[in-house]
Structure 1
Amino acid sequence: MTEKGIDVGLIAKTDRPKGSIAFTNARIITMENDEVLENATIIIKNNKIEAIGASSEISVPANATVLDVNGKTIMPGIVDAHAHIGAFRAGLNTKKHWQLYANLAYGVTTAHDPSANSETVFGLSELVKSGEMVGPRIYSTGFILYGADGDFKAVINNLEDARSAIRRTKAFGATSVKSYNQPRREQRQQVMQAAKELGVNVVPEGGSTFFTNMTMIMDGHTGVEHNIPVAPVYKDIVTLWSNSNSGYTPTLIVNYGGMNGEYFYYERDNVWENEKLLKYTPRHIIDSRSRHRTKVPQEEYKNGHILVSETVTKLSNAGVKTNLGAHGQLQGLGAHWELWMLKAGGMSNMEALKAATINGAEYIGMGDEIGSLKVGKLADLIVLDENPLENIENTNSVRYTIINGRLYDTDTMNEIGNEAKERGKFYWENNKYNQAFPWHEQTQSFSIPGCSCYALKH
């Protein structure tokens, strides 16, 4: 119930690069309404956007690093509004946290983690802010306000309990809290009232319980995390939700009520052969999830994540702001899968891209700083080899990622801007742990009656 904490008094400078970078002759999707600029230039000074517009009208500073990106497309970095980034660990973190590199390599420049170890995730956030670590902007709820029995249950039986819990979370640096499995509606309402008093968003999860989701909308929550377990929906739900200010982060990649969307892509693509993904992700994670694929009849996907996505589109068309949330299922690439699944339900390419950028930025309360390309906003953007307005899967052609004004080549994740810096090795690169298993070189056959057997070579 403590109302005041102890001021640690530790102050660190926020990282900000120096110099100017200009991208010229690009197609720029600004996310300011439906604005698309052709043959355009964007100038970044330090960590902010200084100018944007037609190349014929923009004067490039003489001291700027200039990249002619003719034929390429620039858009804001992806905002993953429901991103679990490997922050449920105790003790020390690796300085090269691979989850952060994987996200940047695939153009995710902001991650909002709605369930994490508070000490770990806010430590990571501060290390990224100070420039001690490389990664996307990190926001989080820290530990969830969990209502079920367990090691980190948040006991909320009155308004003062809720105030105490949220004061503590806010002191860590949270701008949002996650209300989860508080069983009584009055408890969830107490969390809402305390959060409003303290200026904090509430992003709840209904635990795949439809009526809990609906009361969360009625009670004014910031949004609903994970898809509601009912599809399709009809006029009553559309009318209720569209007349609220609650957003929706459906996380189709872990779809409730049907096949998880991620299985579609594991079945469709040889993910274990994705060289870019393997540069930034331990091989054992990729292999264990993708090499032994589950074969699913296509109608189960149609009646699974695609049907849910169609409901998301219906709600979006009625005015419900939809956000991209990839749930940390596959760092970086999973955000693109989630984006493509939003499109699969009937969204236009532009609407899906908005869900991946400006919608998520506004949802987590950062829309004035990130989520669109506009003079004065922070310089978080990506350069694509292909145009996602023509084919949504072209989002997975990220050539450069710019986070807070720092420019990275996604093929290496070396910083190549005004303050060039080579990426060091991940632990598996130091010990060759991530090498593919070369069966044809490392095994030899031998014969036992009735058995075809193999043994490792010495």
Structure 2
Amino acid sequence: MNKIVLFVFAICVSPIFHSFSQVNVITNVHVLTMEDENILEDHAIVVKDGGIENILPMNQASSIEGAVMIDGGGAYVYPGLAEFHSHIPVAQNGNTQLQEEAMWLYLANGVLRVRGMIGHASHLPLKERIENGEIDGPRLFLSGPSFSGSSVSSPEQAAQMVRDEKAAGYDHLKLHPGLEMDEFLAISKKAQELNIPFGGHVSLDVGLEASLKGGYKSIEHMDGYVEALIPDYSKVLDPKQAGPFTMLLVKEADLSKLPELVKMTLDTEAWIAPTLTLFDRYFGYKPAEEYRNIPEMKYMSAEQVQNWINAKKPYEEAGVLTKENVQPYLNFRNMLFMTLHEAGVPILMTSDSPQVFNVPGFSIHHEIELMSEAGMSNYEILKTGSVNPAKYFNQEDEWGVLKKGASADFVLVKGNPLEDLETLKEPIMVVMKGEMYDKEALEKQLEKIELNHKR
């Protein structure tokens, strides 16, 4: 019987080997299936044709004839993470370098599922190339070009946009601010007729209640909740008084209205995409310049990093991002996040990457830290990046869990993530649709990306 030891591969290519038409058995691992909080200790995962054929106790694994045995060395295995609010790069004049780099940045961080939330036509062939095995990457779920005050001119044109994006093959619709109520209602009606989910920001002229009752599947950034709690809505409509995302009015929020909003969120079965790290970094009080040379910025071009600095500095120069303004807002967002979660509103793992100081893959670990600091348990955090994203697209049991018949998408790490979330930052191996990438292979890809953007 062939045997490979996980930690000492002689040859590292990408992937290590193609698993189709052969049976690979990853032995000596502890499996967190995400069906519950139990760990299956000393088990083996049987992988064939891109799927999980079985998960067996170690004493049954040796009976599989002709299989390639891969020693997991006592690693812990979980279904991997999600980035369900991504801004996938656009291919420029057919150049897909930045797109492919982003896919590797996700894989290298154990991010195996990505929902794109600003669509572009170049994303569709990217998804097709990944699905066909031409290039490596996570599973993509794509929103089309966004619906906003700039892209929508009438209810009729908005409805046609919905038809066009559905016909083009997008999985989701993204709504941005600036929509009028009649335009939103046209989008909502046509999207529900065509059975394509939609969500995004909450337009000020639409409001949270109409967005929820109109069929928003996901509320991005927990948008609209602060605004719905401000007694004097005229202040919300004034950017100078409200500040970014109504930050400057948060102390005026009437929390007695919050239980009603939470109930409405539950009743309409909406999901929450919190993007805590976006607000911590983009709208936090840490100066923009301090992010320029943090380790993961080496995977971004100098131009991109400078653009991010330029995006934050006007708020700093205007005196908006002081600790006095920012800390109460971040505290409020943590409270809102946990109130929704504890009430049973489903949460999606989202960091908004690549976006201001959020590098693909790496930013998910910042999001995890912030979810933990807010009070969410390790198991519930892992659910937001595994079970929940699959349920969002009605694909539960197909991925996001480790069980017989599910796709072979999972990550091996040294420690138990239920006890230590830091272990998620250092994947030993990533398995994507049965293809296996060890640590050295992933690090080689990161090195290539760093060289592409060497300062």
Counterpart Cα distance in 2 of 1:83 and 1:373:
24
Q: Does 1:332 align with 2:361?
A: yes
Distance in 1, Cα, partners of 2:205 & 2:418? 34
Aligned to 1:272: 294
Compute the displacement of 1:266 (Å).
9.1
Moved more, 336-345 or 232-241: 232-241
Equivalent in the alignment of 1:172: 168
Q: How far is 1:67 from its partner?
A: 2.4
CA RMSD of aligned residues (A): 3.4
Q: Is 1:185 paired with 2:181?
A: yes
Aligned residues of 2:88 and 2:118 also touching (Cα < 8 A):
no
Is residue 224 of structure 1 aligned with residue 246 of structure 2?
A: no
Q: Does 1:105 align with 2:108?
A: yes
Partner of 2:272: 248
Q: Determine the structure 2 residue equivalent to 1:374.
A: 403
- Structure 1 pair 104/34, CA: closer, same or farther in 2 (3 Å)? same
**Amino acid aligned to 2:216:** H
Contact 2:152 2:179 in 1 (8 A): no
Q: What does residue 122 of structure 1 align with?
A: 124
CA contact (8 A) 1:98 1:426 kept: no
Change (3 A) 1:106 1:381: same
Q: Render the CA deviation track for 1:360-382: whole Å, top value 9, x for unaligned.
A: 22224433422111211111111
* SS of residue in 2 equivalent to 1:398: coil
Distance in 2 separating the partners of 1:142 and 1:164: 13
Q: 1:37 aligns with which of 37, 40, 44?
A: 40
Correspondences of 1:245-394 after superposition (within 5 Å) = 245-255=269-279, 260=282, 272-273=294-295, 278=298, 281-282=300-301, 303-328=328-353, 329-394=358-423
Matches within 5 A, 1:193-212: 193-206=189-202, 209=204, 212=207
Farther-moved stretch of structure 1 (228-237 vs 44-53): 228-237
Q: Amino acid of the residue matched to residue 140 of structure 1?
A: L
Q: Distance in 2 between matches of 1:60 and 1:327?
A: 46
Mapped partners of 2:209, 2:183: distance in 1: 15
Q: Distance in 2 between matches of 1:299 and 1:202?
A: 35
- Report the Cα distance in structure 2 between the residues aligned to 1:174 and 1:95, rounded to whole angstroms: 21
Q: Which residue of 1 aligns with 2:233?
A: none
Q: Which residue of structure 2 lines up, in the alignment, with residue 449 of structure 1?
A: none
Asked whether 1:400 is paired with 2:433, we answer no
User: Which secondary structure does the structure 2 equivalent of 1:23 belong to?
Assistant: strand
8 A Cα contact 1:80 1:360, kept in partner = no
Inter-partner Cα distance in structure 1 for 2:33 and 2:293: 31
Task: Indicate if the aligned counterparts of 2:105 and 2:446 stay in contact, CA closer than 8 A.
Answer: no
Aligned partner (choices 212, 215, 221) of residue 210 of structure 2: 215
Could you tell me how far apart the structure 2 residues matched to 1:289 and 1:354 are? Answer: 30
With over 3 angstroms needed to count, the CA separation of the structure-2 counterparts of 1:66 and 1:197, relative to structure 1, is: same
1:423-443 Cα offsets, whole Å, 9 max, x none, are 69847647xx526xxxxxxxx
TM-score in terms of structure 2 length? 0.76
The C-alpha deviation readout for 1:54-108, integer Å capped at 9, x for no partner, is 3334556333332222432111121211111212644332398211111100011
Structure 2: 5+ residue stretches without partners: 1-17, 227-249
Q: Does 1:21 align with 2:24?
A: yes
Aligned residue for 2:170, secondary structure, equals coil
2 CA distance for matches of 1:46 and 1:82? Answer: 29
In structure 2, relative to structure 1, the CA distance for the partners of 1:183 and 1:320 (3 Å cut) is same
1:261 and 1:348, CA in 2 relative to 1: closer, same or farther beyond 3 A?
farther
CA distance in 1, matches of 2:292, 2:423: 18
Is the contact between residue 179 and residue 191 of structure 1 (CA under 8 Å) also seen in structure 2?
Answer: no
| Contact 1:261 1:301 survives alignment (8 Å) | yes
Q: Does 1:157 align with 2:186?
A: no
- Of residues 48, 57, 61 in structure 1, which corresponds to 2:64? 61
Take 2:341 and 2:31, find their aligned partners in 1: how far apart are those partners?
Answer: 24
Deviation at 1:284, TM superposition (A): 6.5
Q: Is contact 1:261–1:341 with CA below 8 Å preserved after alignment?
A: no
Counterpart amino acid of residue 145 in structure 1: F
Using the TM superposition, name which of 26-35 and 231-240 deviates more: 231-240
Higher relative contact order (CA 8 A, sep 6+): 2
1:412 to partner: Cα distance: 2.8
Whole-Å separation in 1 of the counterparts to 2:327 and 2:408: 38
Q: Is the 8 A contact 1:272 1:287 kept in 2?
A: no
Contact 2:179/2:205 (8 A) holds in 1: no
Q: Which amino acid aligns with 2:34?
A: M
Q: 2:436 & 2:414 partners in 1: Cα distance?
A: 16
Q: Which amino acid aligns with 1:219?
A: G
Q: Which whole-Å CA distance do the structure 1 matches of 2:426 and 2:300 have between them?
A: 18
Task: Go from structure 1 to structure 2 and tell me whether the alpha carbon gap of 1:56 and 1:190 turns closer, same or farther (over 3 Å shift).
Answer: farther
Separation (CA, whole Å) in 2 of partners of 1:34 and 1:398: 20
Q: Whose helix proportion is higher, 1 or 2?
A: 2
Q: How many corresponding residue pairs?
A: 397
Q: Supply the distance in 1 between the matched residues of 2:302 and 2:60 (Cα, whole angstroms).
A: 48
SS in 2 for 1:97: helix
Q: How does 1:65-104 map to 2 (within 5 A)?
A: 65-87=68-90, 89-94=92-97, 97-104=100-107
Q: Report the counterpart of residue 454 of structure 1 in structure 2.
A: none
Residues 386 and 285 of structure 1: CA distance in aligned 2, closer, same or farther (over 3 Å): farther
Summarize deviations over 1:172-213 as a string: whole Å, max 9, x none. 221211122352333222212211221211122125x59723
> Matched residues in 2 for 1:97 and 1:357: separation?
23
Q: 1:264 to 1:211 in 2, by over 3 A?
A: farther
Shift of 1:124: 0.7
